[in-house]
């Protein structure tokens, strides 16, 4: 059973998720998806940073290569659409 402090943290995370989704919806309403999508790839960097800072777990080579492929494909599409 969660402690009261844990319930407060879960409530905070729920509101943070609500706010982030609202901001994402507003962003997609303001600009085309191919302009906004590359910014989503920064979540790969944040996940790697928090994994290292919180859990002391460094990203492995295959994770870095996979993240690079995903980000590279998104940037390729973004640059192709701009040109």
Domain assignment of residue 67, given as a range: 32-83
Quick one: 46 and 77 in the same domain? yes
Domain count, the chain: 2
Q: CB of 78 within 8 A of CB of 37?
A: yes
Is residue 2 located within the same domain as residue 26? yes
What pLDDT digit, counting tens, does each position of 40-82 carry? 778 888 888 899 999 999 989 998 898 889 888 878 887 887 7
List, for residues 27-40, the tens digit of each pLDDT value.
Answer: 999 988 877 877 77
What pLDDT shows up at residue 35? Answer: 79
What pLDDT sits at residue 83?
Answer: 64
Do 26 and 37 fall within a single domain? Answer: no
Q: How far apart are CA 23 and CA 14, in angstroms?
A: 14
Same-domain pairing of 51 and 81:
yes
Q: What is the pTM of this model?
A: 0.58
Sign of CA dihedral 29, 35, 39, 40: positive
pLDDT digit string (tens) for 5-30? Answer: 899 999 999 999 999 999 989 999 99
**d(C-alpha 75, C-alpha 35), whole Å:** 10
């Amino acid at each position: 059973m969660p402690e009261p402090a844990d319930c407060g943290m879960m409530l905070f995370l729920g509101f943070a998720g609500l706010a982030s989704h609202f901001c994402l919806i507003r962003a997609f309403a303001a600009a085309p998806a191919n302009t906004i999508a590359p910014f989503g790839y920064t979540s790969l960097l944040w996940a790697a940073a928090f994994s290292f800072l919180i859990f002391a777990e460094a990203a492995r080579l295959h994770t870095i290569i996979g993240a690079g492929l995903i980000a590279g494909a998104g940037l390729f599409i973004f640059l192709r659409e701009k040109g």
